Amino acid sequence: MTAKERIVIVGGGFAGLNLTKYLDKDRFEITLVDRNNFHSFPPLFYQIASGGLDPGNISFPFRRELRKLGTEGLSYHMGDVHTIDVLRKEVRTQFETIEYDKLVICAGTTNNFFGNPELIKNVFTMKSAAEATRCRNEILDRLERASLCPDDPQRRRRLLSFVVVGGGPTGVEIAGAIGELKRYILQREYPGINSEDLQIILLEGTDRVLGPMSPQASEEALKYLKDLMVDVRLGKLLETYRDNVITLKDGSTIYAEMVLWTAGVTGETFLFEGTDYRPGRGNRFEVDEQNRVKGLTDIFAVGDIACMITDKYPKGHPQLAQPAIQQARHLAHALNTDTWDKPFVYKDKGSMATVGRNLAVADLNNGVHLKGTFAWFAWMFVHLISLLGMRNKLTVLINWVWAYFTYSTSLRMLLHSTKFPLRHRWGER
């Protein structure tokens, strides 16, 4: 019998999981490597951060999904790939060394702090379910402590000073979610806090929010944010953030005790051995129209970390779910059939963003633009059908319906970690 080719897939996001599904299991021995043992749905991380959903609602264990595909020639390995040896054809994690015949890098992106390493320790991010949960705990912790300061309005306002950096979809959505909390939830569940005490500022370096979307969508999103009492400041670039003070490029300052960073992304980093190859701009791998990494043999890149330059996309395809899914399916077909004559062509299905209840915008690929309630229901439908697993779909739908009619959710639970070191500001001893 002919031995199967060994394909190692690094990253189990939209690209990695779809590639795993569509590769021929009879032809290839497939190993999926990811630092987490579950697939998550990043477009809804902001709902975890705002207490609208639980991490388990939008996550799905890899082993359960792979079991559906059959275990023959298919395996999952937990690990964080840090080194790629192109001569020995090996990838190394903190736990093991894995050999490959073909390597597909689907590792996605991480936070980009634009050369300001101080921000890593001082701001909150939402690039994983764990980071989003940390944001939720911090927001809820601040609300609870602020409710205990009835005679100290200055301290209360400082506790509730939130700044979101970045006016893309994630920034707009988390700012809108906190704005909804301010407008609808605060007086009902935290009667000791005045809505004026909670300040949410959205900083965007360009002249409009939702830059990749149409000008019409940007204008409508800006209006929706203002309706939710979000202070949107355009053309403002963050210079530094130290001692709870943001200094902007223009020299002005903003006091903020919690800064949520959604301003940019960069590709995950790997150490290469046996070659002097280095990724390009944005730490992305430049690939040809078959997703083969230029300058490397038997190595492919798919999704956010891949940069396929075409006439229509001179800077590479947008770093969204749909390009990743479509590239993965195209590459799977090419590998299965060993045919490389059909170039990848991205079919743009449009983009959408939600700001709050009945407040959303959508630019569809046929030139149709939706706003308000219609866009909001379209956004809900698209995200529901994109979730893995019927249980997750039903759970998210029930939570959304319940929150829509009651303006409340049972998920605003503050879960402090019990591990050391102690966090003295929570009064632990």
CB 183 within 8 A of CB 175: no
| Residue with the two structure tokens 């379910």 | 129
What is 268-283 written as a DSSP string?
PP-EEESS-----GGG
3-state secondary structure of 106: coil
Tokens found for residue 289: 């129209």
DSSP 181: I
Q: Which of 5, 72, 90, 173 is catalytic?
A: 173
**3-state helix, strand and coil shares in percent for the chain, rounded to the nearest 5:** 35, 25, 40
Instruction: Name the amino acid, one letter, at 373.
Output: T
Which tokens go with 151? 């005679």
Report residue 223: phi and psi, to 5°. -65, -45
**What is the rounded CA–CA span in Å between residue 306 and residue 293?**
8
Would you call 173 a catalytic residue per the annotation? yes
Confidence at residue 264, expressed as pLDDT on a 0 to 100 scale: 85
pLDDT of residue 248: 95
Are the beta carbons of 47 and 380 closer than 8 angstroms?
no
Cα four-point dihedral sign 303, 305, 306, 310: positive
**Beta strands 83-85; 90-92: pairing state:** antiparallel
Per DSSP, what are the bridge partners of residue 90?
A: 85, 99
The per-residue pLDDT string of the chain (429 residues; one tens digit each, 9 = 90 and over) reads: 568 899 999 999 999 999 999 999 989 999 999 999 999 999 999 999 998 888 888 999 999 888 888 767 899 999 999 999 999 999 999 999 999 999 999 999 999 998 888 898 899 999 999 999 999 999 999 999 999 988 899 999 999 999 999 999 999 999 999 999 998 888 888 988 999 999 999 999 999 999 889 999 999 999 999 999 999 999 999 999 999 999 999 999 999 999 999 998 999 999 999 999 999 999 999 999 999 999 999 999 999 999 999 999 999 999 989 999 999 999 999 999 999 999 999 998 889 999 988 999 999 887 889 999 999 999 999 888 888 888 888 888 888 887 777 766 656 777 776 555 555 554 544
Distance in angstroms (rounded) separating the CA atoms of residues 72 and 55: 30
Q: Which helix (H) or strand (E) holds 170?
A: helix 169-180
**pLDDT reported for residue 392:** 83
Q: How far is CA 226 from CA 81, 209, 232, 266, in A?
A: 43, 12, 7, 30
What domains can you pick out in the chain, each with its CATH number?
Answer: 5-35+79-111+265-337 (3.50.50.60), 118-263+350-406 (3.50.50.100)
What pLDDT sits at residue 334?
A: 96
